[in-house]
A and B are shown apart, each in its own frame.
Chain A
Amino acid sequence: MSVRTRDRGPLGSGERDYLDALVRDASPRLFAYVRRVFGKSDEVEDIVAETFCRAAGNLAALRGGDRPVLYLLTIARNLCRDRFRRQKPVDNAATDRLAEHPARPFASGTVPADDEQIERLQAAVAALPENLREIVVLRMSGDLKFEEIAELLHIPLGTALSRMHTAMGKLRQTMSVAHEH
């Protein structure tokens, strides 16, 4: 989808109300996505604001679509990719090693989702390779379905699920090791 906008006229009051409500509704997800995937906390507000500026230039497309958040996340992602260089490719070695060490730190009832576990899990997510982290964050923070994630990232659904599977394996390994120490 095209996200490049310019030379828009002033907003009508109905458009302005819609835009204001959208900022209020979608900002938390955009902040979470940019901060958790790209880790640039000092530029998050600027990127989120710029996302809405570009969306404001094409409100008709935004209002006509059924998932404005998906549209906004697409804009935000393009902005981030323009600004920040992509990180190195995935290290698959850790995933391969995982297969030799089964771990179930999250089986129901064995580990409560307490504050400490949440913090360790956030750190573990932050340590994931970017292409895995992005899937996890889009699902959990962006509240996107996997079909939508696949569309946003221009990858097949099976690839999105496969990356999620790999990410979950890495997280289980990390959390299992942390739990033992």
Chain B
Amino acid sequence: MNIEYETGCEQFSDDRLRLATGVDSAPRAEFAEHLTECADCRAELEEQRGLLGALEAALTPEPVAEDVITRIQQRAHGEVRRQSAWSPLLRPSIAAAAALAAVIAWPQIWERPAVTPDETFETVPWDGDVTYAADEVETRIETMEGILQRAEGSDSYLPWSADDDWDMPLAEGELPDADTARSLERRTVRANGAVT
């Protein structure tokens, strides 16, 4: 491959690699015969084996800590879901979004898995004495439609994009993921803050 081989060595490039990597357990007869008389090919074979041995030593997986193993096992059991989406930095904003959602009495839609969007509009407290600007009504409708996306073929709500690959339905009482929570926070503040 990278040596000035005598005539014929280059044709054994694949043979050398297949033998060094263990893909071939023994050299083909023609290559075996060549090896006995070619020091360059023997040296190249040794070099490749040396590199592969060093690579194996360098890339052997490290042990995984016991607490990590336990966390993964629990999550795989379904006991902990989407845990990693809750980075400590995001928790305050998620909590704030959840609180805001509670204040405006929308969480009831999490608890009613069988309603259609049309039915849900009837459950939203629409304060009779308050007049909403038209665009704020639109905002409420858009937000609610966003919340009410469902998983395809599922009765569970997906408060994040249905295009998201991480579309595990929420367990009862489980909060939406961080992006949705932030989006909810922005939009509910706007809907609440601009009442005319």
Contacts and interface: CB of A to CB of B under 8 A. Distances in A.
Interface of A: 6-8, 10-11, 16, 19-20, 23-24, 27-29, 31-32, 36, 43, 45-46, 48-50, 52-53, 55-56, 82, 98-99, 101-108, 110-111, 113, 117-119, 121-122, 125, 136-137, 139-141, 145-147, 157, 161, 164-165, 168-169, 171-172
B48 interface: yes
A50 B53 CA distance: 32
Interface residues of B, number: 50
Interface string B8-38: 0000011001100101000000000000000
Given A16-B77, A52-B76, A28 B1 contact: no
Interface string B54-66: 1111111111100
| Residue among B1, B73, B166 with most chain A CB within 10 A | B73
A109 B142 CA distance: 70
Contacts of A137: 59
A49 B61 contact: no
Given A136-B59, A145-B23, A168-B48, 20 more contacts: A6-B154, A6-B167, A7-B154, A27-B68, A27-B69, A31-B64, A32-B59, A48-B72, A52-B76, A53-B78, A55-B76, A56-B76, A99-B1, A99-B2, A103-B2, A106-B48, A106-B51, A107-B46, A140-B56, A164-B17
B61 A122 contact: no
8 contacts: A6-B168, A19-B77, A45-B72, A45-B84, A52-B72, A106-B51, A118-B58, A137-B59
Contacts of B3: 102
B182 interface: no
Interface of A is mostly: helix
A125 B21 contact: no
Contacts of B165: 82
A20 to B, nearest CB: 5
Contact of B59 (A45, A122, A157): A122
B68 A108 contact: no
A106 B54 contact: yes
Given A23-B69, A140-B59, A164-B17, A107 B50 contact: yes
Interface in B111-153: 151
B49 interface: yes
Nearest to A122: B58
B75 A53 contact: yes
A118 B54 contact: yes
| Residue among B55, B81, B167, B169 with most chain A CB within 10 A | B55
B179 interface: no
Contact of B73 (A19, A28, A99, A101): A19
